[in-house]
Structure 1
Amino acid sequence: MVIESDLSCSGLVRRFAGHAAVDHISLDVPAGTFFSILGPSGCGKTTLLRLLAGFDRPDEGDIFIRGQRMNDVAPNKRPVNMVFQHLALFPTMTVGDNIGYGLKRKKVPAAERRRRIARVLEQVGLPGLENRNPQDLSGGQRQRVALARCLVLEPTLLLLDEPLGALDLKLREQMKIELKHLQKAFGTTFVYITHDQSEAMVMSDQVAVMRNGRFDQVAPPEVLYREPATPFVAGFVGDNNRLAGKVVSVADGLASLRLEDGSVVHGRLASEGLGPGALAELYIRPESLVFTGADSPAGFSSLNARVRATLFDGANSRVEAEHLGQPIFARLPQDGSAPGLVPDAHLPLAWDPALACVFGVGSL
């Protein structure tokens, strides 16, 4: 079955003073998708969003929304709406007037406006609040009003520019779940900009990890986490330990590295063209590490580590250790399954090689 794309971009470039803030970006977003663009500050996320919204024009490439080229279409003529970080609600208008502002500008009759405002307030969980002032609402309620103001216009795309950034931590956690539920309920395609990996991982169907104006990887969240395509993705998405060494051998999709002390460790080969003698780094997630007795599980890779401290971390214990003076940490469940984790204890630290990634030093 062919899924219609709500958004397609091909070879987008936007330069400022000779620097490509967006550098040959191509993407395809199926209808009804929650698509996030994740990356550090300055990577080009907001510039890309401005191109999609029509606030800026690309130097090269094309933007299509439902098959129609948008490069020369004004922002107010695109089937797109946008939610900003600071919401931009009108403080002197009621909730209903805020939500109905766009409908009024489109000359939708008053009776139809009232009907659509009441319906969208019901859908976002704020029924009966149309006569309230935004200042009288909680932060989460104002967030939903801002969403309702956009969704009432039934856009093809809803662009969200770090909309949770101004909320406190607890409210952000709550709104992540609510945003995902709302997106599924409305069926609107969301394109969400964030530097917060937890937001992207929790809410998204697909995530594009952006760096220096380009996408390093576009994939579902679980693929980004388990099978990062580059060292940058491995380091930016979730926590990782890194062990540097030299490749000894490559076979059956696994690479063996010799560390500085002569230890040989193993992980999944993640860089093409990596062979014996190459400098490489092994990335391993802290929750993939286990402290074992004298014998590691069959097929596991291991090295000796010195325990520095065990810290309570909610549902887990964070075990700080070191190997050759290099910090390394594990995340273990609070079930007492790893006795002997006391400061200065020397214990084997093991992992399944399939859960580790080996990248060549200098890999993109």
Structure 2
Amino acid sequence: MAVDSDLFCEGLVRRFGSNAAVDHISLDVPAGTFFSILGPSGCGKTTLLRLLAGFDKPDEGDIHIRGQRMNDVPPNRRPVNMVFQHLALFPTMSVGDNIGYGLKRRKVPVAERRKRIARVLEQVGLPGLEYRNPQELSGGQRQRVALARCLVLEPTLLLLDEPLGALDLKLREQMKIELKHLQKQFGTTFVYITHDQSEAMVMSDQVAVMRAGRFDQVAPPEELYREPATPFVAGFVGDNNRLAGEVMAVRDTLADIRLGDGSLVQGRVASGNLESGQRADLFIRPESLVLTGDALSPGFSAIQAKVLTTLFDGANSRVEAENGGQPVFARLPQDGSAPRLAANASIRLAWDPALARVFGADKP
């Protein structure tokens, strides 16, 4: 356990019958970190959050907050607060009374309560709204009231269970930036649960990618994107092409892969040992693909593909194609350098092998 850890868990297990919803999870979250747990529905992330909050108890393992073991500490005695997806604001209370509810329960004197409520409203950008009803506020303002209600109690950890899920797209984009700003402003450790990779990647200092009750990888967002540790992370975090083939040779960090259409291409070995004859998957990001002619840049790999459709996507064109029956898509810039591609056109897509990742197909 690091000296500056706000949250340290070791070997957490929570079973429901024969199913382990949380399966030997360990994590170490330094103070002041925005830590996200990212995974698909049903992977166990909400169960893990309930264990941290004290709403449930682990079957095995330990939870420490600021160095103190929390396994048997009830929720109301833990230095933790939680923001839910549907906010759970009291509709009959004013904004100020909602924010001050926890302080009142703690018997904080009225004058001190008012001072802290006013201060936190200023910090979340809602000064002077303490007498308004939550129903009179916008969705983003109600979101900030829910955050203020937790932050005014100065918790060690703030747990957030998909709090942006009920907001429309434009407001979600705005709140991602605001949440990151507020976390840095308050210096509180955030543990954020989401299935939305964009939320996790934009806001987080560290992201744990969770699958089937376990963490596949814990790393900063850039590392998850550029250096995925497993095929699941490669496929789940960001858009990726996955091309199946057979390992023909391995040279240092590069593997030669024979694809189904006969193309011989290269990618960087992602992890473990690859052997000739082994089935493998090559992952390449759509933005790493470039249109090329017969003259190939030295060291590059390329495939022939048939265009299925071309979609306008703002600054880019999204080219949907197929190679030997395998779907492949590229994200090409709308800067006039790329020709307009018609359906059924034959194109050549190339990439730098250093940007591709190769995993053995039998690896989890």
TM-score tier by shorter-chain length is over 0.9
- State the Cα RMSD in Å: 1.0
Q: Choose 205-214 or 266-275, whichever is displaced more.
A: 266-275
Secondary structure at the aligned position of 1:50 is classed as helix
Q: Choose 194-203 or 324-333, whichever is displaced more.
A: 324-333
**2:312 maps to what in 1?**
312
**One-letter identity of the residue aligned with 2:177:** I
**2:348 maps to what in 1?**
348
Number of matched residues? 363
Find the aligned partners of 1:271 and 1:115 in 2 and give their Cα distance.
Answer: 55
Find the aligned partners of 1:305 and 1:340 in 2 and give their Cα distance.
Answer: 15
Q: Choose 131-140 or 260-269, whichever is displaced more.
A: 260-269
User: In percent, how many aligned pairs have the same letter?
Assistant: 82
**2:38 maps to what in 1?**
38
**TM-score (normalised: structure 2):** 0.98
Find the aligned partners of 1:148 and 1:264 in 2 and give their Cα distance.
Answer: 57
Secondary structure at the aligned position of 2:245 is classed as strand
The answer as to whether partners of 1:256 and 1:267 remain within 8 angstroms in 2 is yes
Instruction: State the Cα deviation string for residues 40-65 of structure 1 (Å, max 9, x = none).
Output: 11100000000000000000000000
Closer, same or farther: CA 109–340 of 1 in aligned 2, 3 Å: closer
Find the aligned partners of 2:311 and 2:75 in 1 and give their Cα distance.
Answer: 51
The answer as to whether partners of 2:261 and 2:323 remain within 8 angstroms in 1 is no
The correspondence of residues 320-331 of structure 1 with structure 2, limited to 5 A, is 320-331=320-331
Secondary structure at the aligned position of 1:190 is classed as strand
Which ranges of 4 or more aligned residues in structure 1 deviate by more than 3 Å? Answer: none
TM-fit CA distance, 1:314: 1.1
Q: Choose 236-245 or 28-37, whichever is displaced more.
A: 236-245
Gaps of 5+ in 2: none
TM-fit CA distance, 1:237: 0.6
**2:225 maps to what in 1?**
225
Gaps of 5+ in 1: none
Closer, same or farther: CA 176–340 of 1 in aligned 2, 3 Å: closer
Find the aligned partners of 2:91 and 2:159 in 1 and give their Cα distance.
Answer: 22
The correspondence of residues 116-155 of structure 1 with structure 2, limited to 5 A, is 116-155=116-155
**One-letter identity of the residue aligned with 2:303:** L
TM-fit CA distance, 1:197: 0.4
**One-letter identity of the residue aligned with 1:233:** V
The correspondence of residues 40-79 of structure 1 with structure 2, limited to 5 A, is 40-79=40-79
Find the aligned partners of 2:323 and 2:287 in 1 and give their Cα distance.
Answer: 17
Find the aligned partners of 1:306 and 1:41 in 2 and give their Cα distance.
Answer: 34
Closer, same or farther: CA 266–11 of 1 in aligned 2, 3 Å: same
Instruction: State the Cα deviation string for residues 82-130 of structure 1 (Å, max 9, x = none).
Output: 0000000000000000000000000000000000000000000000000
TM-fit CA distance, 1:36: 0.2
Instruction: State the Cα deviation string for residues 230-288 of structure 1 (Å, max 9, x = none).
Output: 11111111111111111001112111101123211111101312111100010111111
The correspondence of residues 47-196 of structure 1 with structure 2, limited to 5 A, is 47-196=47-196
The answer as to whether partners of 1:205 and 1:220 remain within 8 angstroms in 2 is yes
